[in-house]
Amino acid sequence: MTLPFLRASAEADAHESPLSSLPLTVLVGVTGVGKSTALAALQSANSGMKVLPDRRDITDAVMIWPRAGGSISDREERFRLTAEYRAEHPGGMAYALGTLLADTRHWGNQPVFDGLRGLEEVQYAAAHFPAWRFVALGAPDAVRVRRLLGRADAFDQVTGGSAPDLRQALAELKGVQDVFTPAELDGLAALTDQGFAPADILAKVKIVVSERRNYDPHAAEQFLRTLPPTRALVLDTVELDPAGVAASVAAWAGAGA
């Protein structure tokens, strides 16, 4: 599998630069925190910014295909394969991104990437790639489940099961007690009253729990708050509506241009 106008690091041609050395703007956050809104604001604030292939594309090309020999749609299996990659390459996605050369005739000199997750990836990127800047977005896990239910993204696939007793099925998910309180699980099970199918609710909760087993968004945000404000912006996408997120990102991007 190939990536457009990107290739594995080797000797760079005159029109190529390592992504590791470019002033890349990186979105940080797990599924359902509102990265699409921030991405649109970044592009609006600086029309010269181009968006690199996103995390799933880089994951497929660098991590999944070499191990599986083809594409994998199930999120749980993808998490397993990417965990293997991270075990071999500290920094995970940050490491993978830093191994690529970019054709700057296509991507320009200030591309955007969506995105990094978790403390290890962010720490690695901040330490190894000093030109990179970070926009971190956060939202409570229960809010993320509701957003996933509403967005109907074909990529959000994981086997949910029939869930005849949804509340019990939620309680039996591996690691769920580390993410949701019993009261939060009660609230998620009650989403059936809003017309959501039990199997869909279970599937989306599994996605959130699986991500939290692999990435700690709160630790990543705390680390980014230690960086200079010109290098990192951290936003709560519940406190700010989409317009507020867009305005904050656009002002920050414009100040750093």
Residue 165: its pLDDT value, please? Answer: 92
Ordered DSSP codes for the chain: --BTTEEESSSPPTTEEEGGGS--EEEE--TTS-HHHHHHHHHHH-TT--BPP-HHHHIIIIIIHHHHSS----HHHHHHHHHHHHHHSTTTHHHHHHTEEEEHHHH-SS-EEEEE-HHHHHHHHHHH-TT-EEEEEE--HHHHHHHHHHH--TT--------SSHHHHHHTSTTGGGT--HHHHHHHHGGGGGT--HHHHHHHHHHHHHHHHH--HHHHHHHHTTS-TTTEEEEETTTS-HHHHHHHHHHHHHHH-
Each residue's pLDDT tens digit, 75-100: 788 888 998 999 999 999 999 999 99
Domain segments of the chain as ranges: 6-140+215-256, 142-212
pLDDT band at 164 (very low <50, low <70, confident <90, very high): low
pTM for the full predicted model: 0.82
- Please check the confidence at residue 137 and state whether its pLDDT lies above 60: yes
Residue 154: its pLDDT value, please? Answer: 44
- Please check the confidence at residue 57 and state whether its pLDDT lies above 90: yes
Mean pLDDT of 220-249: 93
**CATH code of the domain occupying 6-140+215-256:** 3.40.50
